[in-house]
Structure 1
Amino acid sequence: MTDHEQQPPATEEGAAAAPARRGKRRRLALIGTGAAAVVLAGGALLAAQSSDSQQSLPEPAAMAPLSTATPMAPVSAAVAAASLEAVASSAPASPASSAGLVSSASASPAPKMEERKQASRSEEKTSAEVRRKIKEARAKAAADGVPLKRPLKQAAAGEAAVSERTVQTKNGTIRVTTARDDLTGQRALAIAADKGERVGSANCTNRIRFSAGVPARERPSLLLCWRTSAQRSVVTMAVTPNGKPKAAESVAIIDKEWAKLG
């Protein structure tokens, strides 16, 4: 028995339902085709609009290259202060302040000039009064038989620094003068009336002349000792209220200071 023989015969209901199924399938196919066409059309429209918008946008302008800023030179405090002063001075002053400035400027010169004139007159009056008193004192001294005494002239001082100090002793004081220079004829040595006597490494004398034209005198309470050279000098002046100064004390100080000067 063949396959065709085994299939059951078609019924009338199956023959009637077959055309309906085929129509339904065609409608579904048409709907799917329409939907696909709509989707494709929408995509094409969007693509066209995007292309048009890109073409309508203007091209961005070319950016200028960044320029390197030139470093500014540092402004000093003095320049800044001068600039501030210039700005302050250029600001317009108020009418009241301007009037005050004008009035003070016009009024200030008169008192200053008057003060200067008064000071000048006072100085002239003082100088004239001093000269008058000097003349009167000299005339009175001459009338009393007192000769005019002038100070002793000293030798030109060197450029080296001079140091002075006072040393206390049992009987009085010793003034010590030192310098890295020759002090011959200067300071205390200007009153020495002679070359002195040799005592150890120094010379000492008590013959003193305080003023020019006055005879030298021995001063028992005073002793002047010294040691000098072209490079260094040490001078001592010992004074004792009672008795005579000891030359040994002065010479010991001179030797010590001389060694310090090297």
Structure 2
Amino acid sequence: MTLEDHEAVEVVGSVAPRDVMFVCEHASNHFPDEFGDLGLSDDAKTSHVAWDPGALALTKELARRFEATYVAGAVSRLLYDCNRPPEAESAIPTRSEIFEIPGNEGLDTAARTARVEQIYKPFRAATEQAMAMVHPKALVTVHSFTPVFHGKPRAVEIGILHDRDTRLADAMLTAMKGAEFNVQRNEPYGPEHGVTHSLKTYALPSKTPNVMLEVRNDLLREPEAIAKMADTIADALRAGLASLAAENAQRGAQ
């Protein structure tokens, strides 16, 4: 038995032209029966290494504000990290922060290929199809991160990440100057950590403005906090889109 395509990815919303499309690669910590639990403890399966806590809830809030479509991963990132290409060792990690992943140790080529076929390829196909149908003015991927990593606290609260296309990130960072949150560029991760795969795959080829959001997960534990964060990010995103539109109009008038 293998995963059906719809079990690896979820597409929600009207697949029609919209200003923004959202992607949440690490939305779920679900482990389908065919894979078992990878030999993980309950603590590991519910921790940030298995998924991005709060990221899906934030994605839903943002999608509601923009009446937007979103694409979400439906299985744990430990089975396959859909923000990594198949050739990346980290796509199927054997260790994540303090946790060993026994079920990923010693996988042969056939086993790795099966994960790619069952999880990554359906996710990629669904995202590419949604991008083609929505034709958004911007692509936004949504992630969360742990407030303490390898024992070290992180001060950053919102990361605005980008690859070589900095347009939307620049505009959002400008809009967020003076925000009550600690907002930083390419923190706590950046392109050098291999985290911009989705941006490079789904947005850069079509020159679609794009940004990756990283929000500290202790700010996404309660509905009120999630709504507040969604308001903050939505305001910055609207301002960023307006800034880009104005720049495009100015160039067109020249």
TM-score in terms of structure 1 length: 0.19
Please identify which structure carries the higher helix content.
1
TM-score in terms of structure 2 length: 0.20
